[in-house]
């Protein structure tokens, strides 16, 4: 982890605040009742399910806490979280299972 500079942080806070507002206000405020092209909607449907795994995958495979070395407790916890989330479609259950697996793994293997 590196120290975050004040300039970088405030640029991101203000830019993310303004940018998020514009994304949310976009059609509601500016475009009104016109329809979006279907192909745009089709891509927007997959943003969450694409960007979030892209962000998480390197954090799972090369965790910062181990200096980037593959870590069995963290990898197992990640797999358990996804499996429970898929099986029960319940976010809280998946978090509890993943957290439990992580602590158990760190205790047994760490």
> For residues 23-52, which are near other proteins according to CB under 8 A?
23-29, 31-33, 35-36, 39, 41-52
Confirm or reject binding of residue 16 to other proteins (CB under 8 A): yes
DSSP string covering 26-64: IIIIIITTPPPPHHHHHHHTTHHHHHHHHHHHHHHHS-G
- Per rule CB under 8 A, count of chain residues that contact other proteins: 77
Closest to 74 measured CA to CA, from 106, 47, 96: 106
Number of alpha carbons in the 13 Å side-chain half-sphere of residue 47: 5
Q: CA-CA distance, 77 to 107, in Å (whole number)?
A: 13
Q: Which of residues 70-109 bind other proteins (CB under 8 A)?
A: 74, 77-78, 81-82, 84-92, 94-95, 98-99, 102-103, 106
Please select the residue that binds other proteins; options are 3, 67, 69, 108, rule is CB under 8 A.
3
Give the sign of the dihedral formed by CA 30, CA 33, CA 36, CA 37: negative
Minimum distance, C-beta of residue 64 to other proteins, in the bound complex (Å): 6
4 or 108: CB nearest other proteins: 4
From the CB of 109, what's the least distance to other proteins, in Å? 12
Using CB under 8 A as the binding rule, whether residue 2 contacts other proteins is answered as yes
């Amino acid at each position: 982890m590196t120290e975050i500079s004040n300039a970088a942080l405030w640029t991101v806070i203000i830019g993310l605040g303004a940018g998020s507002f514009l994304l949310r206000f976009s059609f509601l405020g500016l475009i009104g009742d016109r329809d979006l092209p279907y192909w745009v909607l089709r891509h927007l449907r997959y943003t969450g399910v694409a960007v979030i795994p892209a962000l998480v995958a390197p954090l799972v495979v090369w965790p910062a806490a181990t200096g980037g070395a593959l870590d069995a407790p963290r990898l197992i916890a990640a797999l358990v979280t996804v499996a429970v989330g898929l099986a029960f479609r319940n976010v809280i259950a998946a978090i509890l299972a993943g957290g439990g697996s992580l602590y158990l793994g760190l205790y047994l293997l760490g």
